[in-house]
Amino acid sequence: MAKLHVLRVFVGEDGEGGNPLGVFLDVGAIPEGSRQSVAADLGFSETVFVDDKEDGRLRIFTPTAELPFAGHPLVGTAWLMAREGFDVDFLRPPAGEVPVRRSGDMTFISGRPEWSPPFEVVTLGSPREVDALSGPPEGHDLVGVWAWEDEEAGIVRVRVFAPRVGVFEDEATGAHAVQIAARLGRKTTIRQGVGSVIVADPRPDGMVEVGGKTELVEAKSYAL
């Protein structure tokens, strides 16, 4: 049996939204070769397996593929590790060293745009057009669709579709937030999915910091 924490990451101010995430802080009961099948069984957009809590080493799996970097899994894992007494300054997924920062009830991580999956970008004229989509634009299987909601305030409406990696539509996508904030070159508040909120801010060193609120849904035993 392994202990599974289920979180919601990038929860909105009203408590809505948040992308479900599975995290195994102790992976001793899970053979390394079983991680992909466990992630597929759980069905979350991503599941995290922490190999070393002291050093922050971990791996991230979608239902069909391993990712070197992903935003909401790293934000959620950083929040959970601090809650469990492992308050690290860096996480270390395969992509590289990821700085971690906490401020009040917000948790932030930083990543490089080139670490993110190769999202295509579709810009629409209004949030209403984004909301009207019933799926990814034709011909796209890894795409972020966005429109300005309030350009002066830096607020955008976003939906991300990723059937290429087994996720039809993602509720909140930190890796895409890294890319869109880098593209816009300014601090950005992203409203995604049914109610998720991501704050993204380009840094002088070329990284983009992304963050938001995380909540614990449950902690339970998982049987292989």
Q: How much is the pLDDT for 170?
A: 96
Same CATH topology for 2-110+211-222 and 115-209? yes
Tens digit of pLDDT at every position of the chain (224 positions):
999 999 999 999 889 999 999 999 999 889 999 999 999 999 999 999 999 999 999 999 999 999 999 999 999 999 999 999 999 999 999 999 999 999 999 999 999 999 999 999 999 999 999 999 999 999 999 999 999 999 999 999 999 999 999 999 999 999 999 999 999 999 999 999 999 999 999 999 999 999 999 999 999 999 98
Domain boundaries, the chain: 2-110+211-222, 115-209
Residue 134: which of 103, 159, 167 has the closest Cα? 159
pTM: predicted TM-score of the whole model, two decimal places: 0.96
Three-state DSSP string of 125-154:
CCHHHHHCCCCCCCCCCCEEEEEEEECCCC
Q: Does domain 115-209 have CATH number 3.10.310.10?
A: yes
Q: Does domain 2-110+211-222 have CATH number 3.10.450.750?
A: no
